[in-house]
A and B are shown apart, each in its own frame.
Chain A
Amino acid sequence: MIKNKSGLSLVLSFLAVTTVFAATSPRPSAQLPPVTRLTAADMPYDVGGTALLKWDVRPEDTPDVLYQIYVSSMESGGWIKADEFPADTRTGDGIELPFWAWNASVREHVVKVELNNFYGEAQTTGPVFRFKVTSVKDKKSYDSQVVSAGTVSNWFRLDRLNNLVMAILVFIVFFWAVSHAKRKGLFIRRIAGLDAIDEAIGRATEMGKPIYYLPGIGNMTMVSTIASTFILGEVSKKVAQYDSTIKVPHKDPVVMTVAKEVVKQAFLEAGRPDSYREDINQFVSYDQFSYAASVDGMISREKPAAIFYMGWFMAESLLLAEVGSTTGAIQIAGTDEEAQLPFFFTACDYTLIGEELYAAGAYLSKDPMLMSALKTQDFGKLVVMVSVALGGILASLGGLMHWDPFTRIIADLFKAY
């Protein structure tokens, strides 16, 4: 990929300069040797238009020395100043690339030259450009030899390899989980909040008061709503068994149609199809606050024994949970909307936090898709736990012992480029 046409001249000048260098090593400060062993190449892993110049770090690289980079598109002359910087800066470790894609050496100056800044973008990828580095000290400048290179459009971001590996791992684990879930089922621990559901339904039956189940204001594409309908199935099955009553007010008509099916099925499975009534599910309002106001009214009139809030809730959580708590009902909530969790947590007896809601849905339904998604998430968490624990220990070890290349490897592995 590197179109380096300076090979021969480079060797020649190298020979020439090393002899000079050897002869006059303790030189007076006014004199500065020109830069040698300059190479130009294409910047890897990019779209093109950026060239990479490298040359060795020298003992003369003090802050008062300046390097100037010149670029030209012509056979001779036509130099444009592309960059200028103090000689003690810009080494190989300044380029942000991981260890597997880049050798970050502090013994080398590395400078990226963005050709697009000086030439039209269409002409920068492909043609050969010429470069030279001029060292400046005390207003005197010393040119290096001229090297040339062209840039190309690359095909792979090697620096993003860690991301690709992780993506492929997630891919494999997910499809493995799907096939396992379908054949043998997967283990998911029982969610503590589910015990509270039984207790709440039991109490409602004793008191002879109704149960409210609010499926949130989300639509059927949301994982939280899907999980909520599975939990609704389980709750209504228990309700049917205990011969208690349940009410499910809705904001989304599509969710309502799904919920109707779910409740009907649950009553059938519990052997009580006779107690199923169409008005268990009722549509209240399309509008968030009107919905909340109407449901608040229903709750404060009927004073239910238990209220479930499961699904996607927004600001109305505040209005609902407060009224519920003042009626003295047992309240069990579950949502993945973080901003609402504090209100549920303070006003309810039990709260399923975020993924616990999905897990409860998966646990109850054994739905292979929910299960495998959850399993893949668990896999991801495992990766994080192990990496954080091991990486933390190794990084501090490396830090204490000053093994810089070692700590760099750890840091690079967990960095997105």
Chain B
Amino acid sequence: MKLIKKQIPLAIVLVFGTLTLLTYFVPHKRSVNFLETMNKWENIVAAFAFFLGLINLFYSHYTKISRKADGWGYSIFVYIGFLAIAIPAYVSHGKNMDGSVLTWMGWAFKYIYNPLSATMFAVLAFYIVSTAYKSFRIRSLQAFVLFAAAMFLILGNVPLGQMIWDKLFGWTSYAISDIVDWIMHVPAIAGKRGIMIGIAIGVVVTALKIIFGIERQYLGKD
């Protein structure tokens, strides 16, 4: 039982991991053919992974309703939201447009999913403003450097900011867009690249650990 529960899965990850890794160094037709098969398989298996999320969401809200947990009434709206998209999709056979006319599904997308999804993150704009006022504290030289870089970007991003810059600092003969370009293409690159290189090796190590079966959190418990 341990064989099929543990050893074969770990063998799968070792074999497929190593072979896929080798395709990078082996240009032969056989390696390409192997990779093509893997691509097609991966694309299909990854599609099923979506159902994990779906079942997880449905199940967690089902238990909430069945236990009458706090605020269980709202959980019903998860199912209503699902049906609000799924039924029109079924009626329109998964098509958004019929010629240049919106189908039912296109309608549901435009007037239900679209505003919900867009607004969820638009709310954050308000918090940025209040954070800027209430907790952006220039406590140190480091924070001041951060503030200064942010300031150039904020002003340089909008035409009014560019005008203000020209009014106040036009005499320096530096346009704010030059300064923004310099920040983005010199010091910011150094900062990002420094972070990136360490993380890249981290990713490579994690990939190694996965292929060799050292990292097996994703397998879950026995």
Contact = CB atoms under 8 A, between A and B. Distances in A.
Direct contact of A and B (CB under 8 A): yes
Interface of A: 45-48, 125, 153-157, 160, 163-164, 167, 170-171, 174, 178, 220-221, 223, 286, 289, 315, 318-319, 321-322, 325-326, 336, 338, 342-343, 345-347, 354-355, 358, 369, 372-373, 376-377, 379-381, 384
Contacts of A369: 209, 214-215
Given A343-B131, A346-B136, A346-B146, A164 B205 contact: no
Contact of B134 (A170, A325, A372): A325
Contact of B197 (A160, A345, A380): A380
Which are the 9 A-B pairs with shortest beta-carbon distances? A380-B201, A347-B135, A325-B135, A153-B29, A322-B131, A377-B201, A346-B136, A153-B28, A318-B127
B143 A170 contact: no
A47 B120 CA distance: 48
B195 A315 contact: no
Contacts of A46: 27
Given A322-B134, A377-B198, A164 B25 contact: yes
18 contacts: A45-B27, A48-B29, A154-B28, A155-B26, A157-B25, A160-B25, A315-B121, A322-B130, A322-B131, A322-B135, A325-B135, A346-B137, A347-B136, A347-B137, A355-B198, A358-B202, A380-B197, A381-B197
B112 interface: no
Contacts of B206: 223, 373
A373 B202 contact: yes
B125 to A, nearest CB: 10
A343 B201 CA distance: 26
B189 to A, nearest CB: 13
B24 A319 contact: no
The dominant DSSP class at the B interface is: helix
A171 B208 contact: yes
A319 B134 contact: no
B214 A47 contact: no
Given A46-B27, A47-B27, A221 B195 contact: no
Contacts of B146: 342, 345-346
A150 to B, nearest CB: 14
Range of interface residues on B (Cβ < 8 Å): 35 or more
The dominant DSSP class at the A interface is: helix
A286 B64 CA distance: 12
B200 interface: yes
A361 to B, nearest CB: 13
B205 A318 contact: no
A338 B201 contact: no
Given A174-B208, A325-B134, A345-B143, A157 B26 contact: yes
Contacts of B215: 369
B135 A354 contact: no
Which residue, A125, A163, A315, A379, has most C-beta atoms of chain B within 10 A?
A: A315
A249 to B, nearest CB: 15
Contact of B202 (A178, A289, A338, A355): A355
Nearest to B142: A345
